[in-house]
Amino acid sequence: MLTVGLFIPCYIEQIYPNVGLATLRLLEGHGVRAEYVEGQTCCGQPMANSGCAADAAPLAQKFLRLFRGYEYVVAPSGSCVSMVRNHYEPLLAGQPGFDHLKRSTFELCEFLVDVLKVAKIEGRFPHKVGLHQSCHGLRELRLAAGSERRIPPFDKVRLLLQELEGIELVELTRPDECCGFGGTFAVNEEAVSCMMGRDRVADHERAGAEIITAIDMSCLMHMDGLIRRDRKRLRIMHVAEVLAEAEAAA
Amino acid sequence: MASTSRDDLIGALRRNAPRETPLPDLSGLGVEFADPPKQFAESLKGVGGTCLAVPDRAAAHRALAELPAYAAAKRIVSLVRGVGQGNVDLGAVVDPHQLEGLEVAVLPGELAVAENGAVWVDGRFLQHRAVFVITEHLVLVVDAREVVNDMHEAYARLEPREIGYGLFISGPSKTADIEQALVIGAQGARSCTVFLVG
Amino acid sequence: MSDVQQAVPRGGHPEAAAKFVANDARAHWHDQALWWVRKKRDVASAAVPDWEALRDAAAAIKAHTLSRLADYVEEFERKATALGAHVYFARDAADHNAIVHRILSERGVTKLVKSKSMLTEECHLNPYLEARGIEVTDTDLGERIVQLRHEPPSHIVLPAIHLKKEEIGELFHEQLGTEKGASDPKYLTEAARQHLRQRFLQAGAGLTGVNFAVAETGGVVVCTNEGNADMGTTLPPIHVACMGVEKLIPRRQDLPVFLRLLARSATGQPVTTYTTHFHGPRREGELHIVIVDNGRSAQLKDKVFRRSLACIRCGACMNTCPVFRRSGGYSYGWIVPGPIGVILAPGRDAAAHRTLPFASSLCGSCSDVCPVRIDLHHEILAWRQEIVRRGLLPWRKRAGMKLVGWVLRFGWLYRLAGWLARRLVPALPRGLVYARWNGWGRQRELPPMPRETFRQLYRRHRGEHQP
């Protein structure tokens, strides 16, 4: 049985544990043993994105030490995986095990599609769902083609969602505009961040979505914060939660 | 002796240059249309111009005579023999400022580019450069055999020659500077008609 | 440009942006206007089957050119001079302004018409010339509008995108004598045409920017839509062309790569109305080409930021940037705003522009629309590191990050902090949790705090399901 290291982002571990559980159940349902590696905390992205790369370095070291032995590392987050694959280089270059780690750390949906070769998820999810394209997953991990580039369209996340029985993926006016979370940007540029978030929520609302889903809980946390403050009738669910719930209802 | 700005700049550029990388191979670029003249007409229409395909210059002249802008024009330049009855002799014009008030200019174009409705106009034939922009209405006459697919082909055709002054003109002058509302006829020609002859 | 220099807003980008956002209707209007331009770019690029290959080629041409820029400058100078053009080198903005002024004053020029040149905006040429008795008319419609309003352009391609037609109508009524209350763009453009026509006819010289300078031929290429650059260079006998040194490209055959990308990226047109090639002066005229450094050769040295010297000033990054669209050009405090501005401005003055690299959610959309494939969002991140390295990050933020870094390093500390947050937040009175210090909480609810962590759920799960 394939064993992977389960990399659970800090804010999911602490604030949205059910997303981690859904990830675990999903992987186990597809014949993978997922081990939560004791001692993991954070990939260091908040520090690195604030320009404090030096403060992220010890976390990168810790990450390498903890996950080095695994054939694959899987996380329900595009931004955290992007940190490892695209931004750990200056912090860990040359260190034993880093090359392998870079090549074997996957976001959940791309792991399902590219490694496990899942072509379709058998499940039921009779809801109107808005798919929010988290920027790191889209433009750093290339989980989909995106609206800017002139290449044949593809979307690994949509692939897994679209065949669920009863699901309706609503059509947005701006299919991949940023939600405005952006890490510390959410607080440093609070005004613009919230305007961006509200505009995304409004787009989903106008399109008739009941549930907004994404591969990054940070985007959803930000939009949910606005949804609940503005008392909108929308729910957020991580893609892992949608897929796990769908499979359970199959 | 104090170094000049020139020497300082060139010295700095040499010192600070990144490792050399090669120029790319451009041969795979470009687009091919099934019917370039048809595509040219569509592209020109898309940028606010009009393309009229005619069998010969006489037909172009007849079609020109029917254009309201031409029929009403009092001051006309024609640098294309047989198309348009010019009444302003550019050779006699000493100062291009005198061309203010020119209403129609019929000028020769050498190439037409299908992908974007552009026509290459060579300054050698203009006598006064200002004529193409100061005129209220612009008419260009191009041989229909000289329609190319794209800008790569256009420049390849122009390649051997020395260009003194020349330009691609794609449709009439335009602006969208006021609330992104497209206005045809900004500061140059208000209209652009291209005759593809032959 | 006007006589007003782009001022760095006090409080930096966040404060200026907050003011912009506060006018909700206006901010949404501005956002929609620029999104529409982005959409036009999408349609135009979709019609080009080799679009991505073009971007690759453009990036490679620029990278090569920068690696041999000194040679190309020399070749260009030689060829241009042989054609009869005068070529000058300016080390900085002051040098550039003095050179341009000398060219004009030596020839007795008192009236100058200008078409769009971001370089001359960067050098603040207009006020320099005006202070020395030369009347400068910006002839691009958008630039003329902001010049009459004594404000800087808010976008490098769409200078007046921040203004509504009613405001322009009011301006023209006061300054050009148009009818009061008239705001039809066609009517206003016609009035501007007549007004500017007089300026062209009276000008002693015309000044343009340079979109591309071709080393192989010694020629310069100017791409415009309105006809103003061509009016300004075909009527007055003196043409002054100002260019940043990075505008060089090696050969004539490289032009089509950029020309097929430029207008489509900028405004969604297949090409600009006029793509004018100047090789030497016209008969009985003069051509002066001023090549400017002003920090570019220094930028070439930087292994990361040198890549943004490839910029062809199309503005596509601004149009797609969700932050630019919702904060406007004036929030950036520099003549080139948006993603590219956020990279270039700190290079000028990192202290003054220290908030700019943080005025981004790092969404990466800019990098994907950039016709020359500048990795804008990576360079923006790199600038954040530079800002911290230079000690320009406010100490509170620096301390905060250090603290967070420490907590996250040690598993037990991290778990303790998490436990405290999950226990305290629901227990404290709302007024305390959502006090002013809580930047997140001004417009957003905090997420609901769960009782257990994933680690706890996992242990139970493993306990329930023996592997």
**Do A145 and A104 belong together in one domain?**
no
For B156-166, give one letter per residue: b (16+ CB within 10 A) or e. eebeeeebbbb
* C467: exposed, middle or buried (Cβ count in 10 Å: 0-12, 13-18, 19+): exposed
Complex ipTM tops 0.85:
yes
Residue to substitute from C45, C458, C466, interface A, most A β-carbons within 10 A:
C458
Examine chains A and C and say if they touch (3+ CB pairs below 8 A). Answer: yes
* C418-429 mean pLDDT: 89
**Joined tokens for residue A140:** 């750093």
Instruction: Say whether pLDDT at C215 is over 70.
Output: yes
**Do A67 and A133 belong together in one domain?**
no
Domain boundaries, chain B: 34-197
Domains in chain A: how many in total? 2
Chain A residues with CB inside 8 Å of C24's CB? 195
Are C299 and C347 contacting, i.e. CB atoms less than 8 angstroms apart? yes
Q: Alpha-carbon distance A175 to A171, whole Å?
A: 8
> For residue A19, what is the nearest residue in chain C, using CA coordinates?
C454
CATH 3.60.20.40 fits C51-297, yes or no: no
CATH number for B34-197 (one of 3.40.30.10, 3.40.50.10420, 3.10.330.20, 3.40.50.10160): it is 3.40.50.10420
**What's the whole-model pTM score?**
0.96
Q: Measure the CA angle with vertex C28, ends C23 and C34; round to 5°.
A: 130
Q: Alpha-carbon distance A194 to A191, whole Å?
A: 5
**Do A140 and A230 belong together in one domain?**
yes
pLDDT digit string, tens, across residues C137-147: 999 999 999 99
The H helix count followed by the E strand count for chain A is 14, 8
Interchain CB contact of C14 with A (< 8 Å): yes
Q: A169 lies in a domain?
A: yes
**Joined tokens for residue C31:** 């956002």
Q: A181 lies in a domain?
A: yes
Instruction: Say whether pLDDT at C404 is over 90.
Output: no
- For C69, the closest of B13, B130, B186 (CB atoms) is B13
Chain B residues with CB inside 8 Å of C91's CB? 5, 8-9
Are C209 and B112 contacting, i.e. CB atoms less than 8 angstroms apart? no
Instruction: Say whether pLDDT at C111 is over 70.
Output: yes
pLDDT-derived band at C7, boundaries 50, 70, 90: confident
What percent of chain C stands above pLDDT 90?
87
Cβ separation of A194 and C408 shorter than 8 Å? no
pLDDT of residue C3: 38
**Joined tokens for residue A55:** 């403060």
Q: Residue A139 has what DSSP assignment?
A: I
Q: Alpha-carbon distance C432 to C443, whole Å?
A: 15
Interchain CB contact of C47 with A (< 8 Å): no
Other beta carbons less than 10 A from residue A126's beta carbon? 11
pLDDT-derived band at C465, boundaries 50, 70, 90: low
**Do A109 and A179 belong together in one domain?**
no
Q: Alpha-carbon distance B139 to B78, whole Å?
A: 9
pLDDT digit string, tens, across residues B124-174: 999 999 999 999 999 999 999 999 999 999 999 998 888 899 999 999 999
Q: How much is the mean pLDDT over chain B?
A: 96
pLDDT digit string, tens, across residues C428-463: 999 988 988 888 999 999 999 999 999 999 999 988
**Do A88 and A189 belong together in one domain?**
no
Q: A121 lies in a domain?
A: no
pLDDT digit string, tens, across residues B40-59: 999 999 999 999 999 999 99
Domain boundaries, chain C: 51-297, 404-464
pLDDT of residue A24: 97
pLDDT of residue C467: 53
The CATH code of the domain that includes A197 is: 3.40.50
Q: Phi/psi at A236 (nearest 5 deg)? A: -110, 145
Cβ separation of C445 and A225 shorter than 8 Å? yes
> For residue C362, what is the nearest residue in chain A, using CA coordinates?
A182
**Host H or E run for residue C387:** helix C376-389
Interchain CB contact of A242 with C (< 8 Å): no
Q: Ramachandran region of residue A208, left (φ > 0), alpha (ψ -120 to 50) or beta?
A: left
Interchain CB contact of C197 with A (< 8 Å): no
**Do A142 and A108 belong together in one domain?**
no
pLDDT digit string, tens, across residues A161-173: 999 999 999 999 9
**Do A81 and A133 belong together in one domain?**
no
What percent of chain C stands above pLDDT 70?
98
Q: A170 lies in a domain?
A: yes
pLDDT of residue C1: 39
Instruction: Say whether pLDDT at C334 is over 50.
Output: yes
Instruction: Say whether pLDDT at B1 is over 80.
Output: no
Cβ separation of B30 and C50 shorter than 8 Å? yes
Examine chains B and C and say if they touch (3+ CB pairs below 8 A). Answer: yes
Domain boundaries, position A35: 2-115
pLDDT < 50: residue spans in chain A? none
Residue type, C278: F
Q: How much is the mean pLDDT over chain C?
A: 95
Instruction: Say whether pLDDT at C6 is over 70.
Output: no
Interchain CB contact of B160 with C (< 8 Å): no
Cβ separation of C359 and A139 shorter than 8 Å? no
**Do A134 and A223 belong together in one domain?**
yes
Instruction: Say whether pLDDT at B69 is over 50.
Output: yes
Cβ separation of C67 and B24 shorter than 8 Å? no
Chain B residues with CB inside 8 Å of C254's CB? 23, 26
